[in-house]
Amino acid sequence: MAEALTPGRPGPAPARRAAPGRSLAAYLLRRCGYFAVVVLAVYTLSFLLLYALPSDPVALMLERRSSGAGGSSPERLEALRAQYGLDRPLPERYAETLGRLLTGDLGTSFQSGRPVPEVLAAAAPSTIALAAAALAIALPLSAALALATSWRPGGRLHRILVNVPALIAGIPAFWLGLLLLQVFSFQLRWAPSTGGTGASGLALPALALALPVTAVLTAVLVRSLDEVQRAGFVELLRARGLPWHRIYLHHVARNALLPFVTLVGLTVGGVLVGTVITETVFARAGLGRLLASAVQTQDAPVVLAIAMLAAVVFAAANLAVDLLYPVLDPRLRRRQGGKHP
């Protein structure tokens, strides 16, 4: 979780460099470039880890497939290696795999022998539903919790509630899921334990996936709300006699929203990968379970495809947030567009 918490994300740094004389278009172009860089970096990292190491996926696959069927001959091994393109030098395969990915060809699963898109398509809908439900819980919950916490900084409520995110962040996600399952399925019998369809089956896994994310989002929003409240304009508004709830919701919250929106973009990837644990705990089929089992069976094409999917979704979410910035923050619009009237 820590990776989302460090303030040093790439957004602010380029923005600082861009100050004089660069237009909005250059900003947008640069963010799109960042998108491409992230996806390419993830591809490179994944490819090196998945293919450059001396483990032999083909031998492993043959071992598994032909256990009992007379074993495997060296010739068959070579033929299979050639079929999957594992006999050629690494840089060549790097370029070729990249080219294939760009044209949408994700390859064939070592494990099942089926095309990877087919394997992914079978698993994706339930994971998308889970991740969407988790975000639908996490966003309002963290906003509400943070707004309640920061209502009166230094108040008793603040002192108590400010510890809630830290407490939730200290609980392992998988154990939290098991705990929810134990309490709500086995003790109270409110929700089905496994395989429930529709909203009732989705509620617990979504909550288990949402809570750790909520903790991070809340902590950042509270910090940002507390900081904005110390700004001079808040004092001025108070002095002008505006009621506090109006100042808080219309002025403080609006200004505090920016880091929150940034972080929401960053958490989308985390939620997607978090399904590895949630789906295992709740025994749901989906991309997360698929990734976990593909790692176990050394099914490199499937792992690569899921890593790329996570990277694209993550980078797209960040791009969307970056494109949203000028809309959300008029200061950014004015500063960058101002030199070109």
**Which one of 3-11, 82-90, 119-127, 320-328 is the stretch in contact with another protein (CB under 8 A)?**
3-11
Q: What is the pattern of x (binds another protein, CB under 8 A) and - over residues 9-28?
A: xx------------------
The residue from 38, 80, 180, 234 that contacts another protein (CB under 8 A) is 38
Nearest to 311 by CA among 90, 66, 38: 38
CB 314 to another protein: min, Å:
7
Cβ proximity to another protein: between 161 and 303 the closer is: 303
Tokens of 136: 């639908």
CB 166 to another protein: min, Å:
5
CB 21 to another protein: min, Å:
22
Q: How many CA atoms lie within 13 A of 54 on its CB side?
A: 0
Contacts made by residues 173-176, CB under 8 angstroms, sequence distance 24+: 173/208, 173/209, 173/211, 173/212, 173/274, 173/277, 173/278, 174/277, 174/280, 174/281, 176/208, 176/211, 176/212
Q: What is the pattern of x (binds another protein, CB under 8 A) and - over residues 200-239?
A: ---------------xx--xx--x----------------
The residue from 80, 119, 203, 311 that contacts another protein (CB under 8 A) is 311
**Which one of 72-80, 236-244, 298-306, 320-328 is the stretch in contact with another protein (CB under 8 A)?**
298-306
* Residue 8 near another protein by CB under 8 A: yes
Positions touching another protein (CB under 8 A) are 1-3, 5-6, 8-10, 37-38, 41-42, 45-46, 49-50, 52-53, 55, 165-167, 169-175, 178-179, 181-182, 186, 193, 215-216, 219-220, 223, 266, 269-270, 272-274, 276-277, 280, 291-292, 295-296, 298, 300, 303, 307, 310-311, 314, 318
